[in-house]
Amino acid sequence: MKKVTLLIIISFFFLISACSVNPFTGKSTMALVSNSELFPMSFQEYDSFLKEHQVVRNTSEARMIQDVGVKIANAADIWLKANGYPNYLEDYNWEFNLVQDEQINAWCMPGGKIVFYTGILPVAKNEAGVAAVMGHEVAHALANHGQQRMSAGQYQAILGMIGSTALSKNPQYQQVFEQAYGVGSNVVGMLPFSRKHESEADKIGLTLMAIAGYEPLEAAHLWERMGQLNQNSPPEILSTHPSSQTRIQNIIQWAPDARREASKYK
């Protein structure tokens, strides 16, 4: 019992001491892993990924990815400086690459390392669609979602260890707990956590693309096209992402605020 109590105290200490407030959300978030530790690992993994995949260079599409990425990153810099965070991006190292792959996907690693797959370009359809995807991915980096997911995973493991340790004298109950906790903590904890991050990135991304000069409602049109391709997606409650319809509804609701915010910087 003393061991369990000690684990609870340690985990509580980590939770309350390893938090930071993000300027884009205004919320206190878990940061068990610092950016000074995370960014170098991220940069190294990104470089390794590029060496192992076919990077598209010197085409009009590759240049568009670069140009839109710079515009969105500059929009973030404008917003941060105007809102009292002039040094927020000093450790970021933006990089935007197009990779030959039919997957309909794009992703961002902590610190600003972004990949677009060629498969997403027909769905993005035009530069504004690319800006919608880029704004979303840049927003993930700015909101430190990678850091938060890693921290949440560590905290999930700590809580699981506490429960398992508490039941160590009852192996049968311990096994049942471990199985139930694995499923339950994902459905009730990690999946909603991930969906919340996706919605945050959508909202922040709208503001960034608006500041960069793009119409934020283009993001809704993007998700209409994505929805047509993802008609067999799992129920939202079992997914890491909100449904396309949820995203469209949110974007329509948030677009006027994004335009108003962008108007401050013209």
Which residues are catalytic, by number? 137
55-56 and 106-109 beta bridge pairing: unpaired
Measured between alpha carbons, how far is 67 from 64 in angstroms, rounded to an integer?
5
Q: How far is CA 138 from CA 11, 145, 241, in A?
A: 31, 11, 17
Q: How far is CA 219 from CA 72, 95, 115, 186, 210, in A?
A: 14, 22, 18, 28, 11
Measured between alpha carbons, how far is 91 from 202 in angstroms, rounded to an integer?
23
Measured between alpha carbons, how far is 266 from 260 in angstroms, rounded to an integer?
11
Measured between alpha carbons, how far is 89 from 76 in angstroms, rounded to an integer?
9
Kindly report the length of the chain: 266
Q: Which of 184, 196, 244 is nearest to 220 (CA)?
A: 244
Write the CB contacts of 17 (distance below 8 Å, at least 6 apart in sequence): none
Burial 182-219 (b: 16+ CB within 10 A, else e): eeebbeeeebebbbebbbbbbbbbbbbbbbbebbbbbb
